[in-house]
Amino acid sequence: MSLGRRIGWNVRFIPDPSKRYKFHKSGHSEVVQPCALADLGSLREGETHGQLLVVEAETTEVNNIIQLIRAANVVVEGFPDQKYGNPSGFEIPDDASEEASIYKNLFQTTGFFELFSFKMERPVAVAMAVNAWSDRRIVYAIHKLSKSYETEAITPWSAHPRYGQIFEKHSGEFSDHVRSSIAINLAFSAIEEMNLQVNSSAKNPRWLGKEYTWNPPVLKDITSRLEKAGINPEKIVNWVVRGDETELVIQPARDRFSAYSDGQIVRDIELSLPDAIHACSYLRNFVTAHAFGKETPRLGPYEVYNVQQVARFLVLSICGLFNVWTDDLFEKMAPQLRPFRC
């Protein structure tokens, strides 16, 4: 609420009309089906229902705020929430009896009840939406990356090296090739929205000679834009490579293996941030953005994951929220929150 008010959103809290969640000292509990509400009885000592964040504005603005927060939540988590559809604002009537009727007869019924959600990461998503709100390009970057995750994604934990290769690297199904390409295109387009792509041309090439040495003016251009965005260009990115050597080779091929790589099942490599952004553009430019060719079937979930993770790091960083958790956010904002705490 404090974050929203800071940039002029008219926001407030009301008791959660769904009564789906109960909060207590040790955590919270969730009711899965609305028919179970009648069996729960009254709140026990120390329990409380949740609150609903209400945004008051013209319909289009309300929907833009709600949908941006939801898209930001997907980016923060790095994986889409498959249980809920696209939310939109709904009008709360002024008449008290009509309001009570809607709460009980609509919000506590199947179809609407499931739209009420609680996530520990949501304050960070709100902070991302707030930080992006004044810059339309960052707003579009968040939406594009969120849509990329909704098109195709693997969970972040499944890419952890302790699990090795979980997924089949390639598919023979044409529809899978299209889906992977769309996800990569959207994620890279998010990078372009932030103006953090590598800019090069025939007159100003990206590489010098066959050794794939960065052309100094091109490298300086991307590092300068990263620094201007508050992002350290020296950041090292782990590019996930798993299983047998059947993946598409991205030129230039880098062989600086991550410290945890075993060289067989886990062959993850370390890339500088400019190299990682280039690798994303290589996949987009030569494999996914135009008519498909012989390399297309070699795309798979790990290529999608890598491009999404580079875009995710850039979005979180440009919003000042990389490696920021809800507790971190609360501690940082504690002095500002006191007037609004209840």
Backbone torsions φ then ψ of 327, nearest 5 degrees: -65, -40
Structure tokens at 124: 């960070």
Those residues whose C-beta lies under 8 Å from the C-beta of residue 75, and which sit 6 or more positions away, are: 125, 128, 142, 145, 146, 149, 312, 315, 316
| Tens digit of pLDDT at every position of the chain (342 positions) | 889 999 999 999 999 998 999 999 888 988 888 888 887 778 888 899 989 989 999 999 999 999 999 999 999 999 998 766 667 777 888 888 998 888 888 888 888 888 888 888 999 999 999 999 999 999 999 999 999 999 999 999 999 999 999 999 999 999 999 999 999 999 999 999 999 999 999 999 999 987 789 999 999 999 999 999 999 999 999 999 999 999 999 989 888 999 999 999 999 999 999 999 999 999 999 999 999 999 999 999 999 999 999 999 999 999 999 999 988 988 887 766 554 443
How far apart are the C-alpha atoms of 149 and 77, rounded to whole Å?
10
How far apart are the C-alpha atoms of 144 and 314, rounded to whole Å?
13
In 150-303, which ranges are E strands?
Answer: 207-208, 213-214, 236-239, 269-272
Q: Which of 308, 146, 322 is nearest to 235 (CA)?
A: 322
How far apart are the C-alpha atoms of 121 and 246, rounded to whole Å?
37
How far apart are the C-alpha atoms of 187 and 152, rounded to whole Å?
11
Indicate the pTM of the whole model.
0.92
What is the three-class DSSP state of 114?
helix
